[in-house]
Amino acid sequence: MTDAKAGFAALVDEAAAGKFITITRHGKPAAVLVSVEAAAAARKAMTKPHANFGEFLMSFPGDSGQ
């Protein structure tokens, strides 16, 4: 995190260019710095409704046995 503070502007530039910047605390990943576009895509994916397993099976384009 100390290195991230010292070079924050450069890290923001790298994230804006599409790189995923992992910030560690005490040697363990603590956060990721990403572009606005990557964050928006992640938010959209996290809020997308997911079909339940039964709906998934019913949507399978196979032979329905009829």
Would you list the domain boundaries of the chain? 2-48
- Please say whether the beta carbons of 18 and 35 come within 8 A: yes
8-state DSSP, 26: T
Specify the pLDDT at position 65. 53
State the pLDDT at residue 5.
79
Phi then psi for residue 42, to 5 deg, are -65, -45
Give the per-residue pLDDT at 33: 95
pLDDT, position 29: 94
Encode pLDDT of 21-37 as tens digits: 999 999 999 999 999 99
Ranges of the chain whose pLDDT falls below 50: none
In whole angstroms, what is the distance from residue 34 CA to residue 19 CA? 7
